[in-house]
């Protein structure tokens, strides 16, 4: 029987995240005027990750973190070849949490990243220049790690495919084939959960945008003499 494993909000989250992370990386490498778009893609990543965090608590059955958190017993069950659940497997779950943490770190540090000349993250004014410089260094230094993590993610999907497991289709249409209904009644998150997740994500982007920060007082006028 066919079971809906990845609900529509989770699938949209995934492909929009892939688009926005790629967009942030391409625009930062183009530099110049494209940095405006780098910040927009980065803020979109932050909104998407906030949505995913809430959806992991109140979303559909297979989207919930509690459903795939890699506990020692789940990992040993998987390693012994006795794992029959349909969602992320316990080893895949490590990479899911690592990716979510890495992109969250990157999007949050971006908010106060600056080059002290032309590009300033929207919350830079809230921190001292020392803290800004330190965090900017962190934001820049993760570039290679991000390429490695995305490369490993795609490599893992290809390896699963070579071993006969087609994962990509399920991330497109949401369904997986199950011989028996292991969770016979998987539920989708529902309209209320979706509204809560969207409202919190939009609120996070608004906070990160920084338009609520009062403008700095104008510089004192210089006497004409
Ligand atoms: C920048 C590019 C990408 C990023 C940042 C990314 C990120 C992620 C994340 C965070 C998840 C976990 C989903 C969740 O929250 O539960 C995931 C799962 C998944 N991704 Fe990607 N992804 C990218 C590109 C791709 C591409 C190009 C493909 C297909 C070729 C792909 C296929 C999948 C599949 C099939 C899963 C589910 C794995 C499973 O069944 O356990 N991803 N991805
Ligand atoms: C997941 C999302 C993000 C990724 C993957 C990312 C990636 C990067 C990378 C790799 C650099 C270094 C470029 C270089 O040194 O040549 C960079 C610089 C920068 N990022 Fe991001 N970033 C993200 C989110 C953000 C956000 C949310 C903001 C602010 C809203 C931001 C603002 C900046 C700024 C201002 C710089 C320029 C720093 C400089 O030139 O020294 N980034 N970003």
Asked if residue 155 is part of any domain, the answer here is yes
Among 9, 69, 157, which residue has the most ligand 1 atoms within 8 Å of its CB, making it the best to mutate? 157
Report the nearest-CA residue for atom 24 of ligand 1: 18
Termini Cα distance of the chain: 86
CATH number at residue 199: 1.20.950.20
Pick from 65, 68, 73, 72: nearest CA to 89: 68
193 falls within a domain = yes
Is residue 133 domain-resident? Answer: yes
Residue with tokens 């919350």, as numbered in its chain: 123
* Ligand 2 centroid distance, CA of 139 (Å): 6
Task: Identify the bridge partners of residue 132 per DSSP, sorted by sequence position.
Answer: none
Whether the model clears a pTM of 0.75, i.e. scores above it, the answer is yes
What is the number of domains present in the chain?
Answer: 1
| C-beta neighbour count of 189 within 10 angstroms | 23
Q: Please state the φ and ψ torsions of residue 3, each to the nearest 5 degrees.
A: -120, 135
Query: Which pLDDT tens digits describe the chain residue by residue (225 residues)?
Result: 788 899 999 999 999 999 999 999 999 999 999 999 999 999 999 999 999 999 999 999 999 999 999 999 999 999 998 888 888 999 999 999 999 999 999 999 999 999 988 999 999 999 999 999 999 999 999 999 999 999 999 999 999 999 988 899 999 999 988 776 555 567 778 899 999 999 999 999 999 999 999 888 887 887 776
Token pair recorded at residue 131 = 């803290």
Asked whether residue 84 is domain-assigned, the answer is yes
Q: Does residue 127 lie within any of the structural domains?
A: yes
Q: Return the H-helix or E-strand segment holding 112.
A: none
Q: Closest residue (by CA) to atom 36 of ligand 1?
A: 171
218 domain-assigned: no
């Amino acid at each position: 029987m066919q079971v809906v494993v990845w609900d529509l909000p989770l699938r949209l989250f995934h492909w929009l995240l892939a688009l926005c992370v790629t967009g942030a990386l391409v625009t930062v490498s183009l530099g110049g005027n494209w940095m405006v778009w780098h910040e927009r893609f980065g803020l979109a990543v932050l909104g998407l990750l906030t949505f995913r965090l809430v959806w992991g608590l109140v979303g559909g059955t297979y989207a919930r973190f509690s459903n795939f958190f890699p506990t020692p017993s789940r990992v040993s069950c998987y390693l012994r070849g006795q794992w029959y659940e349909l969602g992320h497997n316990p080893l895949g779950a490590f990479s899911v949490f690592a990716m979510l943490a890495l992109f969250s770190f990157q999007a949050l540090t971006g908010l106060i990243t600056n080059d002290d000349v032309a590009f300033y993250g929207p919350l830079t004014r809230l921190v001292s220049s020392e803290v800004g410089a330190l965090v900017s260094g962190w934001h820049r230094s993760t570039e290679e790690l991000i390429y490695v993590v995305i490369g490993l993610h795609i490599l893992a999907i290809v390896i699963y495919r070579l071993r006969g497991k087609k994962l990509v289709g399920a991330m497109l249409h949401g369904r997986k084939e199950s011989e028996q209904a292991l969770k016979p009644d998987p539920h989708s998150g529902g309209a209320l959960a979706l509204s809560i997740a969207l409202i919190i994500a939009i609120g996070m982007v608004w906070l990160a945008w920084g338009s609520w920060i009062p403008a700095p007082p104008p510089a004192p006028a210089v006497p004409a003499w």
